[in-house]
Amino acid sequence: MNNWWLPYGLKKRLTEKKSFQTDIDVKPLDGIFKTSLHIYIIDVGCPNDLCFEIKALQAPQYNIHRFGIFFADTPRHADVLIVLGPATKKMIGPLKETINQLPKPFGIILIESGEMKSDVDIKNIVGNNLLAEIKNYENPEQIIAVLLKIMNK
Amino acid sequence: MIHSFGKRLFGVLENNGELVNVEEEKLLLFDGKDFTIEANNKSELYPNYNIIKSRNSIIGKSEYFGEGVFVFRYGPVTSWLVEPGVFHIYTYGERILGMNIDVSYKSRNIEQKLTGLNPLEAIPFVESVCGNFSFSHSIAFTNSIEKILGIELNPIIKSYKIIALELERIYNHLYVFSQLANAAAQKVLTSHVQFLFEESLRTNFIFCQSRYLKKLNNIGKLNFYPDKKILNTVQERLDSLNSDLENLYARTLESKNFLDRLHATSIISSEYALNNSLSGPTLRACGVKEDLRQHDKFYEDLNIPTITFGDSLARLEVRIEEIFESIKVINDKIDFIDKVKNLVPFEEAKFSLENITGGTVGAVESPSGIIAYYAELESGKIKNIYISTPSLFGLNAIKDSLPGMIFTDFPFSVDSFGSFFADAAR
Protein backbone atom coordinates (compact mmCIF):
# COMPACT_ATOMS: atom_id res chain seq x y z
CA MET A 1 0.00 0.00 0.00
CA ASN A 2 1.23 3.45 -0.90
CA ASN A 3 1.30 5.42 2.32
CA TRP A 4 1.49 8.76 0.58
CA TRP A 5 -1.91 10.44 0.81
CA LEU A 6 -1.51 12.87 -2.08
CA PRO A 7 -1.74 10.47 -5.05
CA TYR A 8 -4.47 8.53 -3.24
CA GLY A 9 -6.57 11.71 -3.01
CA LEU A 10 -5.79 13.16 -6.42
CA LYS A 11 -6.82 10.10 -8.41
CA LYS A 12 -10.18 9.99 -6.65
CA ARG A 13 -11.56 13.28 -8.08
CA LEU A 14 -14.27 13.53 -5.46
CA THR A 15 -15.75 16.93 -6.38
CA GLU A 16 -18.93 16.76 -8.47
CA LYS A 17 -19.39 19.13 -11.37
CA LYS A 18 -23.04 20.13 -11.46
CA SER A 19 -25.10 23.29 -11.33
CA PHE A 20 -27.11 24.05 -8.21
CA GLN A 21 -30.58 25.47 -8.86
CA THR A 22 -33.55 26.15 -6.59
CA ASP A 23 -37.08 27.56 -6.81
CA ILE A 24 -36.89 28.90 -3.25
CA ASP A 25 -37.46 32.67 -3.02
CA VAL A 26 -34.19 34.32 -2.06
CA LYS A 27 -33.56 37.98 -1.25
CA PRO A 28 -30.10 38.88 -2.64
CA LEU A 29 -27.73 40.51 -0.20
CA ASP A 30 -26.54 43.94 -1.37
CA GLY A 31 -24.49 42.54 -4.26
CA ILE A 32 -21.23 42.85 -2.36
CA PHE A 33 -20.74 39.13 -1.69
CA LYS A 34 -20.12 37.99 -5.25
CA THR A 35 -16.73 36.43 -4.62
CA SER A 36 -16.97 35.16 -1.07
CA LEU A 37 -19.56 34.49 1.59
CA HIS A 38 -18.86 33.54 5.20
CA ILE A 39 -21.56 31.60 7.02
CA TYR A 40 -22.18 30.87 10.68
CA ILE A 41 -24.50 28.13 11.95
CA ILE A 42 -26.72 28.27 15.00
CA ASP A 43 -28.83 25.32 16.10
CA VAL A 44 -31.77 26.63 18.11
CA GLY A 45 -33.29 23.21 18.82
CA CYS A 46 -33.38 21.14 15.62
CA PRO A 47 -33.55 17.35 15.93
CA ASN A 48 -29.86 17.09 14.95
CA ASP A 49 -30.33 15.77 11.41
CA LEU A 50 -29.73 19.33 10.18
CA CYS A 51 -26.46 19.46 12.15
CA PHE A 52 -25.47 16.29 10.27
CA GLU A 53 -26.47 17.99 7.03
CA ILE A 54 -24.15 20.90 7.80
CA LYS A 55 -21.32 18.36 8.14
CA ALA A 56 -22.41 16.76 4.86
CA LEU A 57 -22.28 20.22 3.24
CA GLN A 58 -18.54 20.19 3.96
CA ALA A 59 -18.04 16.91 2.07
CA PRO A 60 -15.71 17.00 -0.94
CA GLN A 61 -18.57 16.10 -3.32
CA TYR A 62 -19.80 19.69 -2.84
CA ASN A 63 -16.42 21.41 -2.34
CA ILE A 64 -18.11 24.68 -1.32
CA HIS A 65 -14.81 26.55 -1.06
CA ARG A 66 -14.61 26.65 -4.88
CA PHE A 67 -17.61 29.03 -4.79
CA GLY A 68 -16.02 31.20 -2.11
CA ILE A 69 -18.29 29.85 0.63
CA PHE A 70 -16.56 29.42 4.00
CA PHE A 71 -17.61 28.61 7.55
CA ALA A 72 -16.86 31.36 10.09
CA ASP A 73 -15.83 30.51 13.65
CA THR A 74 -17.75 33.43 15.16
CA PRO A 75 -20.83 35.43 14.14
CA ARG A 76 -18.61 38.54 14.09
CA HIS A 77 -16.86 37.16 10.99
CA ALA A 78 -20.04 36.02 9.24
CA ASP A 79 -22.10 37.47 6.39
CA VAL A 80 -24.94 34.99 6.64
CA LEU A 81 -26.40 33.24 9.66
CA ILE A 82 -28.03 29.86 9.07
CA VAL A 83 -30.61 29.11 11.78
CA LEU A 84 -31.47 25.43 12.29
CA GLY A 85 -34.91 25.09 13.87
CA PRO A 86 -37.50 24.62 15.23
CA ALA A 87 -36.57 26.74 18.24
CA THR A 88 -36.76 25.93 21.92
CA LYS A 89 -37.76 28.75 24.26
CA LYS A 90 -34.36 28.72 25.95
CA MET A 91 -32.47 29.31 22.68
CA ILE A 92 -34.30 32.53 21.82
CA GLY A 93 -31.96 34.65 23.99
CA PRO A 94 -28.75 33.16 22.51
CA LEU A 95 -30.25 33.56 18.99
CA LYS A 96 -30.97 37.28 19.58
CA GLU A 97 -27.47 37.80 20.96
CA THR A 98 -25.91 35.99 17.96
CA ILE A 99 -27.87 38.24 15.57
CA ASN A 100 -26.66 41.29 17.52
CA GLN A 101 -23.06 40.21 16.95
CA LEU A 102 -23.35 39.98 13.13
CA PRO A 103 -21.61 42.82 11.23
CA LYS A 104 -23.86 44.78 8.82
CA PRO A 105 -24.86 44.04 6.13
CA PHE A 106 -25.88 40.51 7.00
CA GLY A 107 -28.66 38.08 6.18
CA ILE A 108 -30.31 35.06 7.73
CA ILE A 109 -31.43 31.72 6.29
CA LEU A 110 -33.96 29.66 8.23
CA ILE A 111 -34.14 25.87 7.90
CA GLU A 112 -36.52 23.72 9.94
CA SER A 113 -36.79 19.95 10.26
CA GLY A 114 -39.01 17.42 12.03
CA GLU A 115 -42.59 17.41 13.28
CA MET A 116 -42.09 19.71 16.27
CA LYS A 117 -43.18 23.33 16.07
CA SER A 118 -41.06 26.21 17.40
CA ASP A 119 -41.88 27.37 20.92
CA VAL A 120 -41.52 30.91 19.55
CA ASP A 121 -41.93 32.14 15.94
CA ILE A 122 -38.34 32.57 14.74
CA LYS A 123 -39.43 34.79 11.84
CA ASN A 124 -40.56 37.48 14.29
CA ILE A 125 -37.05 37.56 15.75
CA VAL A 126 -35.25 37.48 12.43
CA GLY A 127 -37.47 40.22 10.88
CA ASN A 128 -36.35 41.84 7.64
CA ASN A 129 -32.99 40.11 7.76
CA LEU A 130 -34.55 36.86 6.51
CA LEU A 131 -33.11 36.12 3.08
CA ALA A 132 -34.62 32.68 2.55
CA GLU A 133 -36.61 30.01 4.31
CA ILE A 134 -36.08 26.35 3.42
CA LYS A 135 -39.35 24.71 4.50
CA ASN A 136 -39.11 21.27 2.92
CA TYR A 137 -35.45 20.52 3.41
CA GLU A 138 -34.09 17.81 1.10
CA ASN A 139 -30.28 17.82 0.89
CA PRO A 140 -27.16 20.06 1.03
CA GLU A 141 -27.57 20.97 -2.64
CA GLN A 142 -30.55 23.13 -1.62
CA ILE A 143 -28.41 25.10 0.83
CA ILE A 144 -25.68 25.62 -1.77
CA ALA A 145 -28.25 26.76 -4.35
CA VAL A 146 -29.68 29.31 -1.87
CA LEU A 147 -26.21 30.59 -0.95
CA LEU A 148 -25.27 30.96 -4.63
CA LYS A 149 -28.48 32.89 -5.26
CA ILE A 150 -27.60 35.23 -2.38
CA MET A 151 -24.20 35.74 -4.03
CA ASN A 152 -25.87 36.36 -7.42
CA LYS A 153 -23.87 33.47 -8.90
CA MET B 1 -17.82 -2.12 42.19
CA ILE B 2 -20.48 -3.68 40.01
CA HIS B 3 -23.68 -3.83 42.02
CA SER B 4 -24.51 -7.29 43.22
CA PHE B 5 -28.00 -7.78 41.77
CA GLY B 6 -26.75 -7.47 38.18
CA LYS B 7 -29.44 -5.14 36.85
CA ARG B 8 -28.64 -1.69 35.48
CA LEU B 9 -30.78 1.40 35.78
CA PHE B 10 -31.89 2.91 32.47
CA GLY B 11 -34.74 5.13 33.61
CA VAL B 12 -36.90 6.43 36.40
CA LEU B 13 -40.55 6.49 35.40
CA GLU B 14 -42.59 9.37 36.68
CA ASN B 15 -46.08 10.49 35.80
CA ASN B 16 -45.70 12.09 32.35
CA GLY B 17 -42.57 13.91 33.41
CA GLU B 18 -44.21 15.36 36.52
CA LEU B 19 -42.20 14.88 39.69
CA VAL B 20 -43.73 12.35 42.03
CA ASN B 21 -42.79 10.99 45.43
CA VAL B 22 -39.93 8.52 45.42
CA GLU B 23 -42.29 5.71 46.52
CA GLU B 24 -44.43 6.28 43.43
CA GLU B 25 -41.49 6.10 41.02
CA LYS B 26 -40.80 2.99 38.99
CA LEU B 27 -37.38 1.91 37.78
CA LEU B 28 -36.58 0.84 34.24
CA LEU B 29 -34.00 -1.93 34.69
CA PHE B 30 -31.95 -3.97 32.24
CA ASP B 31 -30.32 -7.34 32.98
CA GLY B 32 -28.20 -7.58 29.81
CA LYS B 33 -31.02 -9.12 27.81
CA ASP B 34 -34.44 -7.90 28.91
CA PHE B 35 -36.00 -4.80 30.44
CA THR B 36 -38.23 -4.87 33.49
CA ILE B 37 -40.21 -2.25 35.38
CA GLU B 38 -39.87 -2.47 39.15
CA ALA B 39 -41.07 -0.42 42.08
CA ASN B 40 -38.50 1.98 43.45
CA ASN B 41 -37.30 0.42 46.68
CA LYS B 42 -33.58 0.36 46.01
CA SER B 43 -32.74 3.45 43.93
CA GLU B 44 -29.87 4.32 46.29
CA LEU B 45 -28.02 1.27 44.94
CA TYR B 46 -27.77 2.68 41.45
CA PRO B 47 -24.91 5.20 40.97
CA ASN B 48 -26.65 6.86 38.02
CA TYR B 49 -30.02 7.43 39.72
CA ASN B 50 -29.38 11.14 40.33
CA ILE B 51 -28.05 11.64 36.80
CA ILE B 52 -31.27 10.21 35.38
CA LYS B 53 -33.34 12.40 37.68
CA SER B 54 -31.52 15.53 36.43
CA ARG B 55 -31.66 14.55 32.76
CA ASN B 56 -33.65 17.65 31.73
CA SER B 57 -31.29 20.16 33.28
CA ILE B 58 -27.65 19.92 34.39
CA ILE B 59 -25.76 16.63 34.45
CA GLY B 60 -23.35 16.68 37.37
CA LYS B 61 -22.90 18.76 40.48
CA SER B 62 -19.13 19.28 40.47
CA GLU B 63 -17.57 22.25 42.24
CA TYR B 64 -13.85 22.92 42.43
CA PHE B 65 -12.01 25.62 44.34
CA GLY B 66 -8.35 26.58 44.51
CA GLU B 67 -5.82 29.10 43.35
CA GLY B 68 -6.57 30.25 39.81
CA VAL B 69 -9.50 27.87 39.38
CA PHE B 70 -12.37 29.27 37.31
CA VAL B 71 -15.38 28.00 35.38
CA PHE B 72 -15.05 28.11 31.61
CA ARG B 73 -18.48 28.06 29.99
CA TYR B 74 -18.50 26.47 26.52
CA GLY B 75 -21.84 26.82 24.72
CA PRO B 76 -24.68 27.03 23.86
CA VAL B 77 -23.48 28.85 20.70
CA THR B 78 -20.11 27.67 19.40
CA SER B 79 -18.69 26.93 15.99
CA TRP B 80 -17.26 23.52 16.89
CA LEU B 81 -20.21 22.07 18.77
CA VAL B 82 -23.16 23.10 16.62
CA GLU B 83 -25.72 21.62 19.03
CA PRO B 84 -26.82 23.97 21.82
CA GLY B 85 -25.39 22.33 24.91
CA VAL B 86 -23.32 23.96 27.62
CA PHE B 87 -20.16 22.53 29.17
CA HIS B 88 -19.30 24.21 32.48
CA ILE B 89 -15.61 23.33 32.73
CA TYR B 90 -13.61 23.85 35.93
CA THR B 91 -9.98 24.57 35.11
CA TYR B 92 -6.98 26.65 36.13
CA GLY B 93 -5.82 27.08 32.56
CA GLU B 94 -4.96 23.96 30.64
CA ARG B 95 -5.96 20.92 32.65
CA ILE B 96 -9.64 20.06 33.12
CA LEU B 97 -10.51 19.57 36.79
CA GLY B 98 -14.16 18.71 36.38
CA MET B 99 -17.32 19.68 34.54
CA ASN B 100 -21.10 19.82 34.53
CA ILE B 101 -23.14 19.57 31.33
CA ASP B 102 -26.34 21.54 30.73
CA VAL B 103 -28.69 19.85 28.24
CA SER B 104 -31.72 22.04 28.89
CA TYR B 105 -31.22 24.35 25.88
CA LYS B 106 -32.32 21.51 23.63
CA SER B 107 -35.10 20.16 25.80
CA ARG B 108 -38.33 19.93 23.79
CA ASN B 109 -40.54 18.01 26.26
CA ILE B 110 -41.29 15.44 23.60
CA GLU B 111 -42.65 12.86 26.06
CA GLN B 112 -45.36 15.29 27.21
CA LYS B 113 -46.17 16.18 23.60
CA LEU B 114 -46.65 12.48 22.77
CA THR B 115 -49.16 11.97 25.56
CA GLY B 116 -52.73 11.66 24.30
CA LEU B 117 -51.69 10.85 20.73
CA ASN B 118 -52.66 7.75 18.80
CA PRO B 119 -49.44 5.67 18.35
CA LEU B 120 -49.72 6.00 14.57
CA GLU B 121 -49.76 9.81 14.89
CA ALA B 122 -46.85 9.65 17.32
CA ILE B 123 -44.32 8.01 14.94
CA PRO B 124 -43.24 11.25 13.14
CA PHE B 125 -42.74 12.94 16.54
CA VAL B 126 -40.67 9.99 17.76
CA GLU B 127 -38.53 10.33 14.63
CA SER B 128 -37.91 13.97 15.60
CA VAL B 129 -36.33 13.17 18.98
CA CYS B 130 -32.90 12.80 17.40
CA GLY B 131 -32.81 12.97 13.61
CA ASN B 132 -29.65 10.89 13.24
CA PHE B 133 -31.18 8.08 15.33
CA SER B 134 -34.67 8.54 13.85
CA PHE B 135 -35.06 4.94 12.68
CA SER B 136 -33.78 3.52 15.98
CA HIS B 137 -36.18 5.69 17.98
CA SER B 138 -39.01 4.74 15.69
CA ILE B 139 -38.19 1.01 15.96
CA ALA B 140 -37.93 1.10 19.76
CA PHE B 141 -41.32 2.85 19.92
CA THR B 142 -43.07 0.54 17.46
CA ASN B 143 -41.50 -2.49 19.23
CA SER B 144 -43.25 -1.49 22.43
CA ILE B 145 -46.59 -0.96 20.65
CA GLU B 146 -46.21 -4.24 18.73
CA LYS B 147 -45.61 -6.04 22.04
CA ILE B 148 -48.77 -4.53 23.52
CA LEU B 149 -50.72 -5.59 20.43
CA GLY B 150 -49.07 -9.05 20.35
CA ILE B 151 -47.80 -8.56 16.80
CA GLU B 152 -45.14 -10.99 15.51
CA LEU B 153 -43.28 -9.47 12.57
CA ASN B 154 -43.16 -11.26 9.24
CA PRO B 155 -39.52 -12.36 8.55
CA ILE B 156 -39.35 -10.31 5.36
CA ILE B 157 -40.61 -7.14 7.06
CA LYS B 158 -38.20 -7.76 9.93
CA SER B 159 -35.34 -8.11 7.42
CA TYR B 160 -36.20 -4.77 5.82
CA LYS B 161 -36.22 -3.14 9.26
CA ILE B 162 -32.81 -4.67 10.05
CA ILE B 163 -31.39 -3.30 6.78
CA ALA B 164 -32.56 0.22 7.71
CA LEU B 165 -31.17 -0.10 11.24
CA GLU B 166 -27.77 -1.16 9.92
CA LEU B 167 -27.77 1.65 7.34
CA GLU B 168 -28.33 4.06 10.24
CA ARG B 169 -25.43 2.48 12.14
CA ILE B 170 -23.11 2.87 9.14
CA TYR B 171 -23.64 6.59 8.56
CA ASN B 172 -23.51 7.43 12.26
CA HIS B 173 -20.23 5.55 12.72
CA LEU B 174 -18.77 7.28 9.65
CA TYR B 175 -19.86 10.62 11.13
CA VAL B 176 -17.98 9.89 14.38
CA PHE B 177 -14.92 8.79 12.37
CA SER B 178 -14.94 12.04 10.35
CA GLN B 179 -15.41 14.14 13.49
CA LEU B 180 -12.43 12.48 15.19
CA ALA B 181 -10.27 12.85 12.08
CA ASN B 182 -11.20 16.53 11.94
CA ALA B 183 -10.52 17.04 15.65
CA ALA B 184 -7.07 15.55 15.15
CA ALA B 185 -6.44 17.99 12.26
CA GLN B 186 -6.14 15.13 9.76
CA LYS B 187 -7.58 17.17 6.89
CA VAL B 188 -7.00 14.66 4.09
CA LEU B 189 -8.41 11.78 6.11
CA THR B 190 -11.37 13.97 7.14
CA SER B 191 -12.22 14.74 3.53
CA HIS B 192 -12.11 11.09 2.51
CA VAL B 193 -14.31 10.02 5.44
CA GLN B 194 -16.73 12.90 4.83
CA PHE B 195 -16.99 11.65 1.26
CA LEU B 196 -18.01 8.21 2.52
CA PHE B 197 -20.40 9.79 5.05
CA GLU B 198 -22.21 11.74 2.32
CA GLU B 199 -22.29 8.64 0.09
CA SER B 200 -23.89 6.64 2.92
CA LEU B 201 -26.60 9.30 3.32
CA ARG B 202 -27.24 9.06 -0.42
CA THR B 203 -27.52 5.27 -0.09
CA ASN B 204 -30.22 5.83 2.55
CA PHE B 205 -32.04 8.09 0.10
CA ILE B 206 -31.86 5.45 -2.62
CA PHE B 207 -33.21 2.89 -0.12
CA CYS B 208 -36.23 4.84 1.12
CA GLN B 209 -36.29 8.38 -0.30
CA SER B 210 -35.04 9.84 2.99
CA ARG B 211 -31.44 10.58 3.90
CA TYR B 212 -32.27 9.89 7.56
CA LEU B 213 -34.58 6.88 7.00
CA LYS B 214 -37.66 8.82 8.09
CA LYS B 215 -41.28 8.04 7.17
CA LEU B 216 -40.31 4.41 6.57
CA ASN B 217 -41.19 2.54 9.76
CA ASN B 218 -44.69 1.75 10.94
CA ILE B 219 -46.40 -0.55 13.42
CA GLY B 220 -46.10 -4.16 12.18
CA LYS B 221 -45.01 -3.05 8.73
CA LEU B 222 -43.07 -0.53 6.66
CA ASN B 223 -44.64 2.28 4.67
CA PHE B 224 -42.54 1.34 1.67
CA TYR B 225 -40.71 -1.82 0.54
CA PRO B 226 -37.69 -1.16 -1.69
CA ASP B 227 -37.75 -3.45 -4.74
CA LYS B 228 -35.03 -5.78 -5.99
CA LYS B 229 -33.45 -3.13 -8.22
CA ILE B 230 -33.09 -0.74 -5.26
CA LEU B 231 -31.68 -3.47 -3.02
CA ASN B 232 -29.12 -4.41 -5.67
CA THR B 233 -28.05 -0.77 -5.98
CA VAL B 234 -27.69 -0.57 -2.18
CA GLN B 235 -25.54 -3.72 -2.24
CA GLU B 236 -23.29 -2.31 -4.97
CA ARG B 237 -22.82 0.95 -3.08
CA LEU B 238 -22.03 -0.88 0.15
CA ASP B 239 -19.44 -3.06 -1.66
CA SER B 240 -17.75 0.11 -2.83
CA LEU B 241 -17.95 1.62 0.69
CA ASN B 242 -16.47 -1.58 2.13
CA SER B 243 -13.38 -1.48 -0.06
CA ASP B 244 -12.86 2.29 0.32
CA LEU B 245 -13.19 2.07 4.09
CA GLU B 246 -10.84 -0.92 4.33
CA ASN B 247 -8.22 1.13 2.53
CA LEU B 248 -8.78 4.25 4.69
CA TYR B 249 -8.84 2.24 7.92
CA ALA B 250 -5.54 0.56 7.06
CA ARG B 251 -3.99 3.97 6.39
CA THR B 252 -5.49 5.37 9.60
CA LEU B 253 -3.97 2.60 11.70
CA GLU B 254 -0.55 3.47 10.26
CA SER B 255 -0.84 7.17 11.14
CA LYS B 256 1.03 7.37 14.44
CA ASN B 257 0.17 11.07 14.66
CA PHE B 258 -3.57 10.33 14.56
CA LEU B 259 -3.45 7.31 16.86
CA ASP B 260 -1.38 9.12 19.46
CA ARG B 261 -4.01 11.85 19.81
CA LEU B 262 -6.82 9.41 20.50
CA HIS B 263 -4.87 6.88 22.52
CA ALA B 264 -5.42 7.05 26.31
CA THR B 265 -7.93 9.92 26.16
CA SER B 266 -11.08 9.57 28.28
CA ILE B 267 -10.54 6.02 29.46
CA ILE B 268 -13.66 4.24 30.70
CA SER B 269 -13.39 1.04 32.74
CA SER B 270 -15.87 -1.81 32.29
CA GLU B 271 -16.95 -1.42 35.94
CA TYR B 272 -17.75 2.26 35.44
CA ALA B 273 -19.52 1.51 32.15
CA LEU B 274 -21.78 -1.15 33.67
CA ASN B 275 -22.53 0.83 36.82
CA ASN B 276 -23.49 3.88 34.78
CA SER B 277 -25.62 2.09 32.17
CA LEU B 278 -23.35 2.71 29.22
CA SER B 279 -24.11 0.57 26.21
CA GLY B 280 -23.25 0.28 22.53
CA PRO B 281 -19.74 0.87 21.16
CA THR B 282 -18.68 2.65 24.38
CA LEU B 283 -19.40 -0.47 26.45
CA ARG B 284 -17.90 -2.82 23.89
CA ALA B 285 -14.75 -0.65 23.77
CA CYS B 286 -14.17 -1.54 27.44
CA GLY B 287 -14.27 -5.24 26.69
CA VAL B 288 -17.90 -6.04 27.54
CA LYS B 289 -19.40 -8.21 24.81
CA GLU B 290 -22.97 -7.01 25.02
CA ASP B 291 -25.26 -6.11 22.16
CA LEU B 292 -29.06 -6.33 22.11
CA ARG B 293 -28.84 -7.80 18.61
CA GLN B 294 -27.16 -10.96 19.91
CA HIS B 295 -30.50 -12.02 21.46
CA ASP B 296 -32.40 -11.51 18.21
CA LYS B 297 -32.81 -14.71 16.16
CA PHE B 298 -32.81 -12.63 12.96
CA TYR B 299 -29.15 -11.69 13.52
CA GLU B 300 -27.54 -15.07 12.93
CA ASP B 301 -23.77 -15.34 13.43
CA LEU B 302 -23.39 -11.69 14.42
CA ASN B 303 -19.80 -10.88 15.20
CA ILE B 304 -19.56 -8.41 18.09
CA PRO B 305 -16.22 -6.58 18.06
CA THR B 306 -14.78 -5.69 21.46
CA ILE B 307 -11.58 -3.98 22.63
CA THR B 308 -10.48 -3.78 26.24
CA PHE B 309 -8.68 -0.43 26.48
CA GLY B 310 -11.77 1.80 26.83
CA ASP B 311 -10.25 4.98 25.37
CA SER B 312 -11.27 7.18 22.43
CA LEU B 313 -9.22 5.10 20.01
CA ALA B 314 -10.88 1.87 21.19
CA ARG B 315 -14.33 3.41 20.71
CA LEU B 316 -13.39 4.46 17.16
CA GLU B 317 -11.98 1.01 16.32
CA VAL B 318 -15.12 -0.72 17.58
CA ARG B 319 -17.27 1.59 15.47
CA ILE B 320 -15.26 0.97 12.29
CA GLU B 321 -15.31 -2.81 12.84
CA GLU B 322 -19.07 -2.54 13.30
CA ILE B 323 -19.45 -0.84 9.91
CA PHE B 324 -17.93 -3.90 8.23
CA GLU B 325 -20.22 -6.14 10.26
CA SER B 326 -23.28 -4.04 9.36
CA ILE B 327 -22.45 -4.34 5.66
CA LYS B 328 -22.32 -8.13 6.05
CA VAL B 329 -25.68 -8.15 7.86
CA ILE B 330 -27.32 -6.01 5.15
CA ASN B 331 -25.96 -8.26 2.38
CA ASP B 332 -27.28 -11.34 4.24
CA LYS B 333 -30.71 -9.78 4.66
CA ILE B 334 -30.92 -8.70 1.01
CA ASP B 335 -29.99 -12.24 -0.06
CA PHE B 336 -32.57 -13.62 2.38
CA ILE B 337 -35.34 -11.36 1.01
CA ASP B 338 -34.39 -12.33 -2.53
CA LYS B 339 -34.45 -16.03 -1.66
CA VAL B 340 -37.68 -16.29 0.33
CA LYS B 341 -39.86 -13.52 -1.08
CA ASN B 342 -41.74 -15.99 -3.29
CA LEU B 343 -41.74 -18.79 -0.68
CA VAL B 344 -42.91 -17.04 2.50
CA PRO B 345 -46.36 -15.45 2.50
CA PHE B 346 -45.81 -11.71 2.76
CA GLU B 347 -48.42 -10.53 5.21
CA GLU B 348 -48.64 -7.33 7.17
CA ALA B 349 -50.10 -7.60 10.67
CA LYS B 350 -53.74 -6.54 10.99
CA PHE B 351 -54.65 -4.76 14.20
CA SER B 352 -56.95 -2.22 15.73
CA LEU B 353 -55.82 0.23 18.37
CA GLU B 354 -59.35 0.88 19.56
CA ASN B 355 -59.81 0.12 23.27
CA ILE B 356 -56.26 -1.22 23.61
CA THR B 357 -54.86 -0.74 27.11
CA GLY B 358 -51.48 -1.85 28.48
CA GLY B 359 -47.84 -0.89 28.79
CA THR B 360 -44.50 -2.44 27.97
CA VAL B 361 -40.88 -1.72 27.00
CA GLY B 362 -39.48 -1.77 23.48
CA ALA B 363 -35.74 -1.46 22.92
CA VAL B 364 -33.21 -1.40 20.13
CA GLU B 365 -29.43 -1.31 19.73
CA SER B 366 -28.96 2.14 18.14
CA PRO B 367 -25.57 3.23 16.72
CA SER B 368 -24.56 4.68 20.12
CA GLY B 369 -26.23 2.21 22.46
CA ILE B 370 -29.59 1.09 23.73
CA ILE B 371 -32.69 3.19 23.12
CA ALA B 372 -35.63 2.00 25.24
CA TYR B 373 -39.26 3.18 25.16
CA TYR B 374 -41.75 2.43 27.88
CA ALA B 375 -45.15 3.11 26.31
CA GLU B 376 -48.46 2.81 28.11
CA LEU B 377 -51.72 2.91 26.17
CA GLU B 378 -55.20 3.61 27.44
CA SER B 379 -58.12 3.14 25.03
CA GLY B 380 -55.69 3.19 22.12
CA LYS B 381 -54.05 6.51 23.07
CA ILE B 382 -50.67 7.12 24.72
CA LYS B 383 -51.25 7.59 28.43
CA ASN B 384 -47.64 7.63 29.56
CA ILE B 385 -44.31 7.35 27.77
CA TYR B 386 -40.68 7.28 28.90
CA ILE B 387 -37.70 7.48 26.56
CA SER B 388 -34.30 6.20 27.71
CA THR B 389 -31.46 7.31 25.43
CA PRO B 390 -27.77 6.33 25.27
CA SER B 391 -26.64 9.95 24.90
CA LEU B 392 -27.59 10.80 28.49
CA PHE B 393 -25.23 8.13 29.80
CA GLY B 394 -22.64 9.07 27.17
CA LEU B 395 -22.63 12.72 28.28
CA ASN B 396 -22.32 11.57 31.89
CA ALA B 397 -19.31 9.46 30.91
CA ILE B 398 -17.76 12.46 29.13
CA LYS B 399 -18.20 14.45 32.35
CA ASP B 400 -16.56 11.72 34.43
CA SER B 401 -13.74 10.75 32.06
CA LEU B 402 -12.43 14.21 31.08
CA PRO B 403 -11.08 15.41 34.45
CA GLY B 404 -7.29 15.15 34.35
CA MET B 405 -7.23 15.59 30.57
CA ILE B 406 -6.12 18.81 28.88
CA PHE B 407 -8.30 21.03 26.68
CA THR B 408 -6.82 19.54 23.49
CA ASP B 409 -8.35 16.21 24.47
CA PHE B 410 -11.82 17.71 24.78
CA PRO B 411 -13.03 17.15 21.16
CA PHE B 412 -11.49 13.65 21.01
CA SER B 413 -13.40 12.70 24.10
CA VAL B 414 -16.74 14.31 23.23
CA ASP B 415 -16.80 13.04 19.64
CA SER B 416 -15.71 9.50 20.48
CA PHE B 417 -18.83 8.81 22.58
CA GLY B 418 -21.24 9.67 19.74
CA SER B 419 -23.60 11.36 22.20
CA PHE B 420 -25.98 14.10 21.13
CA PHE B 421 -27.86 16.76 23.07
CA ALA B 422 -31.02 16.21 20.98
CA ASP B 423 -31.01 12.56 22.05
CA ALA B 424 -30.24 13.25 25.71
CA ALA B 425 -32.58 16.23 26.17
CA ARG B 426 -35.47 14.92 24.07
Please report, in tens digits, the pLDDT of each residue of chain B (426 residues total). 444 458 899 999 876 555 566 667 889 999 989 999 988 877 778 888 989 988 988 998 888 888 899 999 998 998 888 899 999 999 998 899 999 999 999 999 999 999 999 999 999 999 999 999 999 999 999 999 999 999 999 999 999 999 999 999 999 999 999 999 999 888 889 999 999 999 999 999 999 999 999 999 999 999 989 999 999 999 999 999 999 999 999 988 888 888 999 898 999 999 999 999 999 999 999 999 999 999 999 998 899 999 999 999 999 999 999 999 999 999 999 999 988 877 666 778 888 888 888 899 999 999 999 999 999 999 999 999 999 999 999 999 999 999 999 988 999 999 999 999 999 998
Which of the four pLDDT bands, split at 50, 70 and 90, describes residue A118? confident
- Contact between B374 and B245 (Cβ < 8 Å): no
Neighbours of B167 (CB within 10 A): 23
| Gap between the Cα atoms of B137 and B370, Å rounded | 10
What's the pLDDT at B21? 66
**Residue B61 in contact with partner chain A when CB distance is under 8 A:** no
For residue B391, list its beta bridge partners: none
Set of chain A residues whose Cβ sits within 8 Å of the Cβ of B125? 115-116
pTM (predicted TM-score): 0.95
Closest chain B residue to A118 measured between Cα atoms? B108
What's the pLDDT at B218? 95
**Residue B93 in contact with partner chain A when CB distance is under 8 A:** no
**Residue B389 in contact with partner chain A when CB distance is under 8 A:** no
> Given an 8 Å threshold on Cβ–Cβ distance, is B247 in contact with A42?
no
- Among A18, A41, A49, A84, pick the best mutation site for testing chain B contact (most B Cβ within 10 A): A49
> First and final CA of chain A: distance in angstroms?
42
> Given an 8 Å threshold on Cβ–Cβ distance, is A88 in contact with B76?
no
In chain A, residues 82-141 whose CB comes closer than 8 Å to chain B = 84, 88, 90-91, 94, 97-98, 113-116, 139-140
| Gap between the Cα atoms of B302 and A44, Å rounded | 39
- Among B80, B82, B244, B251, pick the best mutation site for testing chain A contact (most A Cβ within 10 A): B82
What's the pLDDT at A3? 61
- Contact between B125 and B113 (Cβ < 8 Å): yes
B84, B129, B251 member nearest A44 (Cβ): B84
| Vertex B293: Cα angle to B291 and B296 (nearest 5) | 140
ipTM score of complex: 0.94
| Vertex B312: Cα angle to B306 and B318 (nearest 5) | 25
- Residues 6 or more apart whose Cβ sits within 8 Å of residue A68: A35, A36, A37, A151
- CATH class of residue range A36-150: alpha beta
> Given an 8 Å threshold on Cβ–Cβ distance, is A42 in contact with B125?
no
Q: Residue B354: what are its φ and ψ, rounded to 5°?
A: -60, 130
**Residue B128 in contact with partner chain A when CB distance is under 8 A:** yes
- Contact between B382 and B375 (Cβ < 8 Å): yes
**Residue B249 in contact with partner chain A when CB distance is under 8 A:** no
Task: Give the domain ranges of chain B.
Answer: 110-425
**Least confident span in A41-45, A47-51, B75-79:** B75-79
Task: Give the domain ranges of chain A.
Answer: 36-150
> Given an 8 Å threshold on Cβ–Cβ distance, is A43 in contact with B79?
no
A41, A45, A58 member nearest B108 (Cβ): A45
Residues A22-40 pLDDT 10s: 999 999 886 788 899 999 9
In chain A, residues 22-81 whose CB comes closer than 8 Å to chain B = 40-56, 58-62, 71-75
In the CATH scheme, what is the code of domain B110-425? Answer: 1.10.645.10
What's the pLDDT at B75? 83
